[in-house]
Amino acid sequence: MKSLRIAAATALALAPAALVAGPAHAADATVSILHAVPGATVDVYANGKSLLTNFKPGTLTDPLMLPEGSYDLKVTAAGAGAGGKAIIEAKGVAVPGGANVTVVAHLSEAGKPVLTPFVNDTSKVPAGKARLTVRHTAAAPAVDVRANGAVALKGLTNPNEAKAVVDAGTIKADVVLAGTSTVAIGPADVNLKEGTNTIVYAWGSAADKNLALAVQTISGMHSAPGGVPAGAGGQVADEKQAADVARYAAIGGAAAAAGGLVLLARRRTADAR
Amino acid sequence: MDHDVDSRRDRADGRGSRRSRGVAAALAAALLAGVGTAWLTRSSDAAPPSSTAVLDSSGRPATPSPPPTSPTSPTAPTDPDRPTSFATSLAARPATVAPAAGTAVPDRLTVPRVGIDMPVVPVGVARDGEMALPATPARVGWYRYGARPGDASGATVLAAHLDMPGYGVGPIAAVEELRTGDVITVRSGEETQRYRVTTVTSIRKTTLDLDSLFARDGPAVLHVVTCGGDFDRTARRYDENVVVTAKPTA
């Protein structure tokens, strides 16, 4: 396989997270890796150490906690070893502490394998909502992303993302060439689970006709509803009020009756004398 | 009659103390009867709902749960300069859309001791950001984004209208009579989850800890919610929420 040495443009992509990384002390970052280069099973090395072996296209790793810092990443053919030829190589990839990052091995618009680190937005969403993120990581021109037939995200280009907070639920998503109704990928049902960031990747190659969607879901961004409005009639309040009125009437009545009885009894006693 | 009264007064001459005793006796009898009636018409003996902002004393850990990590993830050293020994068996899985799990959703709430037996329907969030409730007080809403009965962690939230114009008082009003130890049953299709009441509290809506009420992690717990307190006739809202907290039984 021809060796390609491609330096990933990492600084720009990671800049927003670097600005908000608060504590000065070292913090771990959450890193996932997505393999979106068609046709190649690979091994991944970080700083010369094996990170991942027999990594297949279209698969995503579990999140990995990595100390913040700078990493030299290298992707080789499976079994090539740490010194093997690099299919992709990226030096000095900055991993900011506390950030949630997905490193994507994918094709550039021109069809060359590259590594792009994306910072995942893990800020809270309102109750009942989900965050939808779409990333263009395919060897394809600009696209629009449609949700249930309507254009949701417009003019997305490789290697960029667009996102929106939407109602949770399942959408029928497809990808069309920008400004057209020519479907490039899909449609596919995508479950936007409440309180998640659901990240949809368009990957593959238009020329090779293997464009596909990959989905990553990051949970834990839920919020509680604003309250529980569980009564609008006021009948319970009315009943309580009515019950109170009846109660005080009963108390007063009983007191008056008892007092009257005693007075009457004493009067009779007096009369009898 | 005048004569009678006068003559009685005459007879009462020199017996003022006796007349005072008579009045005192009458007042005492009135007081006794009043207090007695008040006692007989008092609210039920159930522990009065405490007005506290603390929702749950079930020992939810104060520390946030750690973010999910792969069981094969290495323990990351804090020194970035030290060579990291990565797991070579870091799991990767197809990044495809997993079909939604077909777990049954709750469909019936029963509390035998106070006569509650109500259908349950899944609900979400209303336009205003509050929990959406079934319009009729005859049904209970289950907050479908939270835990299901039987889940290992998190709060299962069931809520129903206390009352509604044109309907009257709903069956959920009986939760105010619940006491510690009462059994609550939630059925989800073929499965039944039993709970025991730990607390019944009435909390001002302004101080209600919604994050605890709708907790997604921490111990498994059932929260049955309705309204209580005073009713604002203009806003058509009660100012408190009655929250029943119950723990699952094995």
User: Which amino acid is present at A119?
Assistant: V
Query: What's the confidence (pLDDT) of residue B19?
Result: 67
In this structure, the answer to whether residues A182 and A216 fall within a common structural domain is yes
User: Is the pLDDT at B75 greater than 50, yes or no?
Assistant: no
In this structure, the answer to whether residues A179 and A151 fall within a common structural domain is yes
Query: What's the confidence (pLDDT) of residue B21?
Result: 72
In this structure, of A144-158, A239-253, B141-155, B172-186, the range with the lowest mean pLDDT score is A239-253
In this structure, the answer to whether residues A161 and A106 fall within a common structural domain is no
In this structure, the answer to whether residues A113 and A139 fall within a common structural domain is no
List chain A residues with CB under 8 Å of B103: none
Print the domain residue range for A251.
238-273
In this structure, the answer to whether residues A1 and A77 fall within a common structural domain is yes
In this structure, the answer to whether residues A49 and A104 fall within a common structural domain is yes
Predicted ipTM of the assembly: 0.72
Question: How many structural domains compose chain A?
Answer: 3
In this structure, the answer to whether residues A212 and A153 fall within a common structural domain is yes
Residue pLDDT, tens place only, A166-198 = 999 999 999 999 999 999 998 999 999 999 999
For B99, nearest residue in chain A (alpha carbons): A191
* A79 contact B CB<8A: no
Cβ separation of A61 and B92 shorter than 8 Å?
Answer: yes
Query: What pTM value is reported for the model?
Result: 0.72
Query: What's the confidence (pLDDT) of residue A24?
Result: 42
Cβ separation of B93 and A216 shorter than 8 Å?
Answer: no
Count residue pairs from A and B with Cβ separation < 8 A.
260
| A2 vs A147: CA distance, rounded Å | 39
| Residue B89 pLDDT grade (very low, low, confident, very high; cuts 50, 70, 90) | low
User: Is the pLDDT at A27 greater than 90, yes or no?
Assistant: no
Burial status of residue A196 (CB atoms within 10 A of its CB: 0-12, 13-18, 19 or more): buried
| B66 vs B64: CA distance, rounded Å | 6
Query: What's the confidence (pLDDT) of residue B28?
Result: 76
CATH code at A164?
A: 2.60.40
Q: Which domains does chain B have, with CATH numbers?
A: 108-248 (2.40.260.10)
Please state the three-class secondary structure of chain B as a single string: CHHHHHHHHHHHCCCHHHHHHHHHHHHHHHHHHHHHHHHHCCCCCCCCCECCCCCCCCCCCCCCCCCCCCCCCCCCCCCCCCCCCCCCCCCEEECCCCCCCCCCCCCEEEEHHHCEEEEEEEECECCCCCECCCCCCCCEEEECCCCCCCCCECEEEEECCCEECCCEECHHHHHHHCCCCCEEEEEECCEEEEEEEEEEEEEECCCCCHHHHCCCCCECEEEEEEEEEEEECCCCEEEEEEEEEEEECC
List chain B residues with CB under 8 Å of A126: 125, 129
List chain A residues with CB under 8 Å of B101: none
List chain A residues with CB under 8 Å of B124: 128, 168, 194
In this structure, the answer to whether residues A133 and A111 fall within a common structural domain is no
User: Is the pLDDT at A129 greater than 90, yes or no?
Assistant: yes
Query: What's the confidence (pLDDT) of residue A208?
Result: 95
Cβ separation of B78 and A235 shorter than 8 Å?
Answer: no
Cβ separation of A65 and B76 shorter than 8 Å?
Answer: yes
User: Is the pLDDT at B47 greater than 60, yes or no?
Assistant: no
List chain A residues with CB under 8 Å of B236: 232, 234
User: Is the pLDDT at B33 greater than 80, yes or no?
Assistant: no
* A251 contact B CB<8A: yes
User: Which amino acid is present at B100?
Assistant: A
In this structure, the answer to whether residues A172 and A141 fall within a common structural domain is yes
In this structure, the answer to whether residues A248 and A200 fall within a common structural domain is no
List chain A residues with CB under 8 Å of B126: 225, 229
Distance to chain B for A273, nearest Cα, Å? 10
Cβ separation of B125 and A126 shorter than 8 Å?
Answer: yes
In this structure, of A17-31, A85-99, B28-42, B73-87, the range with the lowest mean pLDDT score is B73-87
User: Is the pLDDT at A95 greater than 60, yes or no?
Assistant: yes
User: Is the pLDDT at A14 greater than 50, yes or no?
Assistant: no
Distance to chain A for B169, nearest Cα, Å? 6
For B215, nearest residue in chain A (alpha carbons): A224
Residue among B38, B90, B213 whose CB faces A62 most closely:
B90
In this structure, the answer to whether residues A21 and A111 fall within a common structural domain is yes
Which of the residues A124, A191, A228 would you substitute to probe the B interface, choosing the one with the greatest number of B C-beta atoms within 10 Å? A228
In this structure, the answer to whether residues A22 and A104 fall within a common structural domain is yes
Distance to chain B for A45, nearest Cα, Å? 9
